[in-house]
Amino acid sequence: METKITIADLLDARRKNQKIAAISCYDYTTARLISQTDVQMILVGDSAAQVVLGFDSTLPATMDFMVTITSAVRRGAPNIFLVADMPFLSYQLGKTEALKNAGRFVAEAGVQMVKIEATGAYLDIIKTVSDAGIAVMAHIGIRPQSISKIGRFKAEATTAQMAAELISLADQMIAHGAGSLLIEGAAEEVAEIITKRCEVPVIGIGSGKGCDGQILIAPDILGLTQGPGPKFAKSYGNLAKQTIEAFNTYAKEVQSNKYPDAEHSYHMKSGELEILQKLLKDKT
Ligand code: KIV
């Protein structure tokens, strides 16, 4: 059986100052490819609502949808540390609901951690889920599920006051049982301070080099997303171009009757066509 990366491996990496590479991914096929790389962590992010379903925010992601895609990712990458994003309204309604939904991700999709977008209002929820034995990643900084309240995202912790608040929030998350932090869109200096003062793996997105690891969404890494994304969304390929070219070549081959050729078609066994033709002829 393949060895699975666990929280102990991530803590080891942090201790040895080895950076953790994480990817947000939403499907079996991509997960299978990631499982053949040195990436240590996959998050099944609720950004799936945008990049898979085409909504303009993460809010429409539902529990059923997230559980379905998370279990697909687990089947594709049985060896990688797997985190599921708790979608909008899966934890905001109270401790019982939060625990039930976190438990679904563990029991039905095999995740090793759940991620909760957290303010001070959710400390009890984090404690309840963590006390039940489910590891929690507290997502602080920019929290996309709050889009309707704030209108548009801007960098976090850019003043001393904001920085002190974010640092205090991080401390409280850890004190309430968070086993990891994800810091989104915060000033690099502040993310580094948080990373140094806590003892859990800290994953950053758009929060500079000082975190224990980094995460980007798979479609950005592959260059599949089009249009200007956030400043930190670096692509390492141009699969959009290659994908459009492949689809177009296929369309041209179908339209010119070049595809399917003999190599891509099934054929009757030798001599069978002649027998069939005779049969058909005898019937008429
Ligand atoms: O939903 C998501 O994919 C995320 C990452 C961008 C961190 O939360």
Q: Is 217 in the pocket of ligand 1 (CB under 6 A)?
A: yes
Q: Is 206 in the pocket of ligand 1 (CB under 6 A)?
A: no
Measured CA to CA, the distance from residue 209 to residue 221 in angstroms comes to 17
Measured CA to CA, the distance from residue 220 to residue 24 in angstroms comes to 10
Quick check: 134 and 125 in contact, CB under 8 A? no
Tokens at 146, concatenated: 């709050």
Instruction: Output the pLDDT for position 1.
Output: 61
Q: C-alpha 73: how far from its chain's center?
A: 9
Residue 254 has pLDDT above 70, yes or no: yes
DSSP H stretches of helix in the chain? 7-15, 28-34, 48-51, 63-76, 95-109, 123-131, 147-150, 160-175, 188-197, 218-221, 239-255, 272-283
Residue 152 has pLDDT above 90, yes or no: no
Confidence of residue 144 (pLDDT cuts 50, 70, 90): very high
pLDDT tens figures, 37-73:
999 999 999 999 999 999 999 999 999 999 999 999 9
Measured CA to CA, the distance from residue 126 to residue 129 in angstroms comes to 5
The answer to whether the Cα torsion of 175, 10, 43, 131 is positive or negative is negative
Q: Is 45 in the pocket of ligand 1 (CB under 6 A)?
A: yes
Instruction: Output the pLDDT for position 39.
Output: 98
Quick check: 96 and 115 in contact, CB under 8 A? no
**178, amino acid identity:** A
* Separation of CA 187 and ligand 1 centre (Å): 18
- Residues of the chain with pLDDT > 90, as a percent, come to 95
| 191-194 contacts, C-beta under 8 A, 24 or more apart | 191/141, 191/157, 193/163, 193/167, 194/166, 194/167, 194/170
pTM of the model: 0.95
- All structural domains of the chain: 7-237 (3.20.20.60), 243-282 (no CATH)
pLDDT tens figures, 227-244:
788 999 999 999 999 999
* Separation of CA 283 and ligand 1 centre (Å): 65
Mutational test site, ligand 1, from 27, 47, 180, 216, max ligand atoms within 8 Å of CB: 47
* Separation of CA 248 and ligand 1 centre (Å): 31
Please give the number of the atom of ligand 1 that sits closest to the Cα of 182: 7
Please give the number of the atom of ligand 1 that sits closest to the Cα of 43: 3
Q: Is 184 a catalytic residue?
A: yes
Instruction: Output the pLDDT for position 226.
Output: 82
Q: Is 215 in the pocket of ligand 1 (CB under 6 A)?
A: yes
pLDDT tens figures, 161-213:
999 999 999 999 999 999 999 999 999 999 999 999 999 999 999 999 999 99
